[in-house]
Structure 1
Amino acid sequence: MSLLTTPVRQDLVVLSLEPWDDVWRRNQHLIAGLLADDPGLHVLFVEPPVDHLHDLRRGAPLTLGRRLRRLTADDGVPEGRAWALRPTKWLPRRLAPGADRRRAGRIARVARRLGMPDPVLWVNDPDGAAVLRATGWRALYDVTDDWLRADRPAAELDRIRSNEDLLLADCAEVVVCSPALARSKGEASGRPVTVVTNGVDLAAYRRPVPRPHDLPDGAYALYVGTLHPDRLDTTACLRLATTLRAAGTPLVLVGPALMDPLDLTRLEAAGALLLGPRPAAEVPGYLQHAAALVVPHRVDDFTDSLDPIKLYEYLAVGRPIVSTPVAGFRDQPADRVAIASPQRLPEAVLRAISAPAAPPSALSGSSAPTEVPRWSDQVRRMDRVLTRVRAARPR
């Protein structure tokens, strides 16, 4: 006869670079997996602040920060053990000194209200250094982008560097998602770092699904991911869209659009079809039915630090892949990924489209690699890291 035991409560505050929404990213995959595996885990997920002035500059509609809300099964997590908070950033830092400190204080107060007096702090957003300063919570720094290598104003880079120096020095554990980040952050801090790459739900992506109704008729080339100027090579995208339109095969872009509105208009004028974000559960259908999957990314120090989730999602569906020579994709065998310069990307994509490819119905028997990292494995790796953080001495 087995005895029922009460799970040991574990509290976690996550400072994320992205909101918890239908477009699942690394944090959501990992947090949802951890919650499913540990019935004692409780999570406060802090989303990036709504920035009104930034939205106005890029022509996006204004949104308001959301009060504390309970995440549910509709959000992909167990009921009653996860909450999300999205603050509002009313003014730039130069006009509102101490804003980060006040935000940190609010997060600490919300955590206490939720019965989290001494949680583990998971920092993905470098600005979360203010929360570490204010609380002294045992902490993990999860590095997914090298923002010091991004094109940013000098003052912003100085702030990021100062925050990252504190996080690398004072966090009990540092996790990175790519070998490039392991080298740069390990060397910068002189400390060991743990690599936890991104992954994919292989079964979901290899299960054939119907063609989405909003796709154009016939063959199409597809990019799935956030349309972000730090990642996408706008000139390469325009060249690719123009060439594919002439060949009667449109370029389809699926994902949140964070580019300049003028660049988005230019892409549409060149023949690209911008579908916007789609729920994570619908993404496999767009990938499985594509004639080619494309990665028209910039090639620079910033993209070299990334571990693109789309690498694993693209590989899982076994469709032809064409990419600029960026991290992850350029390391794959030639029979899996065709690498082309931004200038030669259109002709490489046309070759991939013209080559015979198995239909999506044959996906289960395709040559798609089975050794790609799975999110379930990455969840277990992160759980081991969190166990070490909990055992660390408080600051």
Structure 2
Amino acid sequence: MNASKDLVVLSLERWDGVWRRNQHLISGLLAAEPELRVLFVEPADDPAHDLRSGRRPDLGSGLRRIDDRLWGLRPVKWLPRRLDRRADDRLAQAAARAAEQLEMQHPMLWVNDPASVQLAQRTGWPVLYDMTDDWLAADRPEAEQQRIADGEAWLLEHATTVVACSPELVRRKSPQRVDIALVRNGVDTARYLTPMPRPADAPAEPYALYVGTLHRDRIDVDLCMATANAIHGKGRLVLIGPEAWSASDAQRVRDAGAIVLGARPHDQVPAYLQHADVLVVPHVVDAFTESLDPIKLYEYQAVGRPVVSTPVAGFRDTPNAQIAGGAAFAAAVAAAIPAGTRFPQDANATNADWSTRVAQLVALLSP
């Protein structure tokens, strides 16, 4: 790690019960580096946007201790950028003040969001740019897209270390940066290989299961509806994950017969996977999803259940996954219910354990 043994993480997600790449890697680094201290900066709350969307506004959280040597901070963006041109600078100031409170003198800055480069530009701290998605390929408003493009260009030029989670991200960004390291996603192997009882809120009948963030960037809503209809009478489509789609999308999927359970703590998710008849990936196939290295790829492989996926990156090259799109996808899911086979749990799962990814990072960040 860097000489100061301090790390400030500018994350795209909160530190909560739904563990993603950041939580797995950061917790692994804390275990591997006894002197490491981490400030985890969550995405800012946006009360004005909450009010416009009809939601109760969140008002951030001050510096709080999450665990030994791990602190969290969730700042607030009080006004839209069009009304406050210094909004991003204020957010950077809040993170810098929190680091100063913790007496972090010259920490390493871990950046996920390419639009949040102000803290790096203000402080001159060494930067690890961890690319988890190609946000330039996502459907975003023009002003936001420009902030992302400007931030990514700066990070690719100035970051001390750049890592990417997928070979496709490395390929796309290598013209701007030739030394991008590939650090893929992984799985908590021991947890996923340990048999667990059937969850109490899982349907009693057979079910097809999707686990992941419910967002139109990834999920094909119409395909979910078609699949729920196709398996009607045989089983249910169950979706687990943070709901980041619109209320109308969620209602359409429920009206088609799907069960939307929402987010579940990461230590409970393996049970839902183990008891599913078939695991599904109803993803859109576009430039954005092509940049991904889905964490669910490793989790699905570890539990050894049949998989039906649209032809998306990662799953296309998985031997035990059935690849289909459109009506053929829904038909393949229906044919897999009830489950007639169980594939052996993937013998290579331990090769994708998060501990191997943490070891890669430790090696990359060692002086």
2:17 to 9, 19, 22: 22
Rounded Cα–Cα distance in structure 1 between residues aligned with 2:294 and 2:43 = 20
> Residues 182 and 344 (structure 1 numbering): CA distance in 2 closer, same or farther, change over 3 Å?
same
Could you tell me which residue of structure 2 aligns to residue 76 of structure 1? none
Could you tell me which residue of structure 2 aligns to residue 75 of structure 1? none
- Relative to the length of structure 2, the TM-score reads 0.96
Deviates more, 1:98-107 or 1:139-148: 98-107
1:153 to 127, 141, 144: 141
Could you tell me which residue of structure 2 aligns to residue 348 of structure 1? 332
CA contact (8 A) 2:279 2:300 kept: yes
1:52 shift after superposition: 2.5
Matches within 5 A, 1:220-299: 220-245=207-232, 247-299=233-285
Could you tell me which residue of structure 2 aligns to residue 381 of structure 1? 360
Could you tell me which residue of structure 2 aligns to residue 218 of structure 1? 205
Could you tell me which residue of structure 2 aligns to residue 117 of structure 1? 105
Q: Letter of the aligned partner of 2:90 in structure 1?
A: R
1:51 shift after superposition: 1.9
Pair 1:311 & 2:290 matched: no
Pair 1:105 & 2:83 matched: no
Q: Secondary structure at the match of 1:182?
A: helix
Structure 1 gap ranges (5+): 1-7, 73-78
Pair 1:357 & 2:341 matched: yes
Pair 1:43 & 2:22 matched: no
> Residues 351 and 332 (structure 1 numbering): CA distance in 2 closer, same or farther, change over 3 Å?
same
1:197 to 177, 184, 191: 184
> Residues 231 and 55 (structure 1 numbering): CA distance in 2 closer, same or farther, change over 3 Å?
farther
Could you tell me which residue of structure 2 aligns to residue 52 of structure 1? 47
1:373 shift after superposition: 0.9
Could you tell me which residue of structure 2 aligns to residue 5 of structure 1? none
Could you tell me which residue of structure 2 aligns to residue 4 of structure 1? none
1:191 shift after superposition: 2.4
CA contact (8 A) 1:198 1:308 kept: yes
Pair 1:84 & 2:79 matched: no
> Residues 148 and 348 (structure 1 numbering): CA distance in 2 closer, same or farther, change over 3 Å?
same
Could you tell me which residue of structure 1 aligns to residue 118 of structure 2? 130
Pair 1:68 & 2:50 matched: no
CA contact (8 A) 1:59 1:261 kept: no
CA contact (8 A) 1:9 1:40 kept: no
Structure 2 gap ranges (5+): none
Rounded Cα–Cα distance in structure 2 between residues aligned with 1:322 and 1:56 = 39
Q: How many equivalent residue pairs?
A: 364
Could you tell me which residue of structure 1 aligns to residue 308 of structure 2? 322
CA contact (8 A) 1:253 1:272 kept: yes
> Residues 119 and 9 (structure 1 numbering): CA distance in 2 closer, same or farther, change over 3 Å?
closer
> Residues 250 and 58 (structure 1 numbering): CA distance in 2 closer, same or farther, change over 3 Å?
farther
Q: Secondary structure at the match of 2:38?
A: strand
1:357 shift after superposition: 2.1
Could you tell me which residue of structure 1 aligns to residue 127 of structure 2? 139
Q: Secondary structure at the match of 1:142?
A: strand
Rounded Cα–Cα distance in structure 2 between residues aligned with 1:292 and 1:19 = 30
Aligned-residue identity in percent: 53
Q: Secondary structure at the match of 1:307?
A: coil
Q: Secondary structure at the match of 1:294?
A: strand
Could you tell me which residue of structure 2 aligns to residue 369 of structure 1? 347
Taking only aligned residues, the RMSD between alpha carbons, in angstroms, comes to 1.5
1:95 shift after superposition: 0.9
Rounded Cα–Cα distance in structure 1 between residues aligned with 2:337 and 2:361 = 38
1:127 shift after superposition: 2.3
1:56 shift after superposition: 4.2
> Residues 289 and 235 (structure 1 numbering): CA distance in 2 closer, same or farther, change over 3 Å?
same
Deviates more, 1:55-64 or 1:278-287: 55-64
- Relative to the length of structure 1, the TM-score reads 0.89
